[in-house]
Amino acid sequence: MKRHPPRGSISTRAPRRRFLQGLAAGGAVSVVLALAGCGNSGAAGDDPRADPRDASRVAAGAGLYAQHCASCHGVRREGQPDWRQRLPNGRLPAPPHDESGHSWHHPDAVLFAITKYGFVPPYAPPGYASDMPAFGGRLSDAEIWAVLAWIKSHWTSGEVLAARREMTRNAR
C-alpha cells in the first residue's frame, strides 16, 4: 500500500520531480553544446578541402609545403626577414604563414587562388610585380588544398582563430 503525505504537508515528489526535470534539461543543453563543438567550427571563409582537422590531408600538405614552399616561406612558416620592407627590386619578401603573418586574415578561396595563379589581380594591384609563382602547373588542386590544410593546422591560438572567424564571416 502506497503512503501519501497528509494534506497540507510538503510532498517530496514535487521537489524531486523539479530536480530531475532540471537535470534532464541541463543534460540536453550539455549534449547540444557538445555536438556543436564537434561540428564544423570553421569560419564562413573556410573551405572543407583545407580542413586542418583532416590528418591525412595535413600530412600530405606537410611534405608538399617542404618541397614547394619552405624555400621562400620558411621551414617553420616564418617567412623571409623584414617581409614588410620592399627589396631593392621593389618586391616584398615572402610573408610568413605562421600566426605572425597575415595569411590567416584571408578566406581559403583567396589563399587557394593566390597559390594556384600567383599574386596577380584581383589579389594584387594591376602591374604589381611579385616573386610568388603560380603553382597551378606544378600542383593539383587537391595538393594546393592539402598545403593550405597543413598551414592552417598551425593556426591554433584562440586569438587568431577568433579573429579569423570574424574576418571571414561574410566571405561566402
3-state per-residue secondary structure call for 90-134: CCCCCCCCCCCCCHHHCCHHHHHHHHHHCCCCCCCCCCCCCCCCC
84-105 burial by CB neighbour count: b if 16+ within 10 A, else e? eeeeeeeebbbbbbbbebebbe
> Residue 45: what pLDDT?
64
> Residue 123: what pLDDT?
87
> In Å, what is the CA distance from 14 to each residue of 10, 19, 24?
9, 8, 15
Contact 93, 172 (CB under 8 A): no
> In Å, what is the CA distance from 133 to each residue of 38, 73, 122, 146?
37, 12, 15, 18
Q: Does domain 48-168 have CATH number 3.20.20.140?
A: no
> In Å, what is the CA distance from 108 to each residue of 14, 46, 160?
55, 5, 15
User: Which pLDDT tens digits describe the chain residue by residue (172 residues)?
Assistant: 444 444 444 444 444 444 344 434 333 332 222 222 333 345 546 899 999 999 999 999 999 999 999 999 999 999 999 999 999 999 999 999 999 998 998 889 999 999 999 999 998 888 888 899 999 999 999 999 999 999 999 999 999 999 888 877 765 5
**Cis before 126? omega within 30:** no
Whole-model pTM over 0.85: no
- Taking the C-alpha atoms of residue 168 and residue 160, their distance in angstroms, rounded to an integer, is 12
> Residue 35: what pLDDT?
27
What is the sign of the dihedral through the CA atoms of 100, 52, 92 and 106? Answer: negative
